[in-house]
């Protein structure tokens, strides 16, 4: 299990993002735009897939979320990746809810 350290209950650790982008606000904006543009496709691809394909998508989503400091989303993806296929659907729903919370949190 990873040792992710969320920044309180925030859906994204802005200090991590700032460090990841060396404080470059333009780069932060670009990284967040890419993240926000790609995550819905990752989530959509989780619906109609085989177990192996779903685990691969969950692994990608986990890494993408970790890269920007979206720890709660990354933790849900990690949990789903480790779960049995039939147990993943509630976690995928929770990931969709967490992504919506993250989008609402960002300016």
pTM of the model: 0.89
The total of other beta-carbon atoms located within 10 Å of residue 36's CB is 14
Q: Where are the domains of the chain?
A: 14-105
3-state secondary structure of 2: coil
Query: For residues 28 and 13, is the Cβ–Cβ distance under 8 A?
Result: no
Q: Give the CA dihedral 101, 103, 106, 107, nearest 10 degrees.
A: -130
CA–CA separation, 107 and 86 (whole Å): 36
Tens-binned pLDDT, residue by residue, of the chain (107 aa):
333 444 468 999 999 999 999 999 999 999 999 999 999 999 999 988 999 999 999 999 999 999 999 999 999 999 999 999 989 999 999 999 999 999 999 98
Candidates 2.40.30.110, 1.10.1200.10, 1.20.120.160, 3.90.1640.10; correct CATH number of 14-105?
A: 1.20.120.160
């Amino acid at each position: 299990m990873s040792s992710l350290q969320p920044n309180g209950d925030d859906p994204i650790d802005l200090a991590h993002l700032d460090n990841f982008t060396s404080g470059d606000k333009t780069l932060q904006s670009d990284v967040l735009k890419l993240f926000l543009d790609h995550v819905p496709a990752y989530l959509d691809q989780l619906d109609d897939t085989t177990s192996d394909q779903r685990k691969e998508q969950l692994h990608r989503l986990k890494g993408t979320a970790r890269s920007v400091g979206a720890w709660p989303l990354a933790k849900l993806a990690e949990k789903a990746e480790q779960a049995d296929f039939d147990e993943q659907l509630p976690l995928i729903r929770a990931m969709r809810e967490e992504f919506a919370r993250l989008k609402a949190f960002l300016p």
